[in-house]
Structure 1
Amino acid sequence: MYHTLDLHFQNYEHAIAAFVIETDDGPVLIESGPYSTFPSLEQGLNNLGYKVGDVKHVLLSHIHFDHAGAAWAFAEKGAKIYLHPFGHDHMHDPSKLVASATMIYGDQMDVLWGEMKGIPKKNLKVMDHDDAIEIGGHSFRALHTPGHAKHHIAWHWKDTIFTGDVAGVKIEGGPVVPPCPPPDINLEDWIHSIDLVLSKNPNRLVLTHYGEEINPNIHMKELKEILSDWGQWIKTKWQEGLNNDEITPLFMKYTEQQLRDRGVSDHGLKQYEAANPSWMSVAGLVRYWKKKQG
């Protein structure tokens, strides 16, 4: 049994989640969300009968702000933060993360993500591929799953895998779509990671964006198809000589129609865009094709 905490990112339901597993050593938190949603996270914990200080273990899928931005607030209370080795230095000193994000988001940084503080090294616990930790009678195994990000971990618990972003974004029964942000989106790695996840034969996938998927093979097949579709669509526009600013509105129109064709409502479109901004996938996939060519 696990609990899903809706973090109500930008006042949207089902855009970003965190998850709680109750153990003999207190609650284990998977994902922290951004610090901007910390009040929702704290309320979710309170609803389960816990305080922030009760959380001694936080498992991060990766270090992007929407998944890890509030981890420092738990570390300040003494929690251990488990993460990929590539994320260690950035979480200890997030100045480069903040600087690069500020170049993108400008004066929206605080509204979107909130404060980001460094985490002492003693609180950071790196997990190599296939490492397992035992917490309060529960085992959590780290699966290195690059593709969306090189510092990505999917967490295997019992017959369930908490997928971070490797299983894409799927909101309220809509279609699955792949978040493809810069700087290290890699389609080949992502396909390999999908196959790795499926090789564990999970009964369910749990997506940070958003919720439970009980047909992993069908879900991942659809993700592979849309990942290829988006990748080839962006490649064609880029090869035609269009720049990111020119591609983005065309891509938004293209993907909006895909979602509408699958029955996604106007409100659903806003939820998808909040969880997976179109411009980010354009930037990531154009960068990917440039690197491939170079």
Structure 2
Amino acid sequence: MDNVTPLGGDVYEIDTRMAGYSGITAGYLILGDRPCLVETGTSTSAPVVRDALTSLGVGPNDLATVVVTHIHLDHAGGVGDIAGHYPSAEIVVHEKGARHLADPSRLMASARMVWGDQLDRLFGRLAPTDAARIRTLGDTGSIDLGGGRTLSGHHSPGHAKHHVGLLDSFTGDLYVGDAAGVYLPETGDLRPATPPPDFDLQTALNSVALFGELGPQRLLFSHYGPVTDVAATLERSAEELRIWVDLTTQAHTAGMDLDHAVAMVRDRTRERYAALSAENEETAERFELLSGAPSNVAGIMHWLERTHPDAT
């Protein structure tokens, strides 16, 4: 299939074709003795992911595990649908996100407030998962991939309180979710993902530092794809976080409202990203959807208002 890319080590990247786009959200199949799907993509992507698994020889009773880095709908919106199609699969998530997979009503209501009429087109609806099938990870935890191979979970909040990074003991691949930001392979751009309500700068920087300490051989971004220059990429991730926070802090201190803060930060960061040049309109659209300035600035402003209430 044209949306499946072998990455070596029995790892396959699956383009989930979120909202019909290519190269926007990746799921990954680790095809070992106990096949494991990392990230399901959205609910509307579930048929695409299912077809990809079928093409790789994974039938309804073959998938052992589904694990998500966090429960945001572009990563975990398809969990309920995928769980229904693969009845033998255990569903693994951080303990702080588990209840939202079992009962998605609050999560969906919150997403509706943020996305409005775009919710159905972009994400679809997260179906509930039987709580008995959900296994939780704490600060650490391990997933058995068979043959002595494991996927170890490492709590990495900052982007979201329930975020985990996942390290493959065989390949050294680290599944970074959104904790290291959003990467565009076409341009090499990396931009932070700092949405409300959970963003916290020091926690996010600590998570990036933890990723470096784990010594991965490769970073596998959910948005989007593999990166082998690990040290430089994580350094850039931390730099991007600081730049966006510094600029948003300036706007906050100046008493700007959200719209004016977004405009200022967008203008002052534009030249950092090749994706935002005029000849890359479609790429820019994808970049904004994944790591939009309004969402990023709103998340940082929310953090500033919580931690620096008297700054203005």
Asked if 1:167 corresponds to 2:176, the answer is no
Q: Is the 8 A contact 2:103 2:128 kept in 1?
A: yes
Q: Which shows bigger deviation, 112-121 or 143-152?
A: 112-121
Q: Secondary structure at the match of 1:182?
A: coil
Return the alpha-carbon distance in structure 1 between the equivalents of residues 111 and 276 of structure 2: 32
Q: Quote how far apart the aligned CAs of 1:53 are.
A: 4.8
Q: Quote how far apart the aligned CAs of 1:111 are.
A: 0.8
Return the alpha-carbon distance in structure 2 between the equivalents of residues 22 and 37 of structure 1: 20
Equivalences for residues 122-201 of structure 1 within 5 A = 122-137=132-147, 138-158=149-169, 159-172=172-185, 173-201=187-215
Return the alpha-carbon distance in structure 2 between the equivalents of residues 153 and 238 of structure 1: 30
| Cα gap change, 1:240 to 1:37, in 2 (>3 Å) | same
Letter in 2 for 1:87: G
Q: Quote how far apart the aligned CAs of 1:286 are.
A: 0.4
Letter in 2 for 1:72: G
Q: Which shows bigger deviation, 91-100 or 262-271?
A: 262-271
Q: Is the 8 A contact 1:259 1:269 kept in 2?
A: no
What TM-score, normalized to structure 1?
A: 0.94
Return the alpha-carbon distance in structure 2 between the equivalents of residues 276 and 129 of structure 1: 26
Return the alpha-carbon distance in structure 2 between the equivalents of residues 261 and 106 of structure 1: 26
Q: Is the 8 A contact 1:83 1:124 kept in 2?
A: yes
Return the alpha-carbon distance in structure 1 between the equivalents of residues 217 and 294 of structure 2: 33
Return the alpha-carbon distance in structure 1 between the equivalents of residues 210 and 251 of structure 2: 31
Return the alpha-carbon distance in structure 2 between the equivalents of residues 117 and 10 of structure 1: 18
Asked if 1:255 corresponds to 2:276, the answer is no
Asked if 1:66 corresponds to 2:66, the answer is no
Equivalences for residues 17-56 of structure 1 within 5 A = 17-25=26-34, 27-56=35-64
Show the counterpart of 1:291: 306
Show the counterpart of 1:228: 242
Return structure 1 stretches of 4+ with deviation > 6 angstroms. 261-264
More helix by share: 1
Q: Is the 8 A contact 2:67 2:93 kept in 1?
A: yes
The one of 267, 278, 282 aligned to 2:297: 282
Q: Secondary structure at the match of 1:117?
A: coil
Q: Is the 8 A contact 1:30 1:58 kept in 2?
A: yes
Q: Is the 8 A contact 1:3 1:21 kept in 2?
A: yes
* CA-to-aligned-CA distance 1:122-141 (integer Å, 9 cap, x gap): 11100122221223222110
RMSD: 1.8
Return the alpha-carbon distance in structure 2 between the equivalents of residues 249 and 11 of structure 1: 28
Show the counterpart of 1:121: 131
Q: Quote how far apart the aligned CAs of 1:31 are.
A: 0.4
**Which residues of structure 2 form unaligned runs of 5+?**
1-8
**Which residues of structure 1 form unaligned runs of 5+?**
none
Identity of aligned residues (%): 28
Return the alpha-carbon distance in structure 2 between the equivalents of residues 121 and 193 of structure 1: 28
Q: Is the 8 A contact 2:183 2:223 kept in 1?
A: yes
Q: Quote how far apart the aligned CAs of 1:24 are.
A: 1.4
Show the counterpart of 2:231: 217
Show the counterpart of 2:95: 85
Q: Is the 8 A contact 1:13 1:271 kept in 2?
A: no
Q: Secondary structure at the match of 1:241?
A: coil
Q: Is the 8 A contact 1:53 1:74 kept in 2?
A: no
Q: Which shows bigger deviation, 212-221 or 259-268?
A: 259-268
Q: Quote how far apart the aligned CAs of 1:9 are.
A: 1.7
Q: Quote how far apart the aligned CAs of 1:50 are.
A: 2.5
Q: Quote how far apart the aligned CAs of 1:52 are.
A: 4.9
Return the alpha-carbon distance in structure 1 between the equivalents of residues 292 and 61 of structure 2: 33
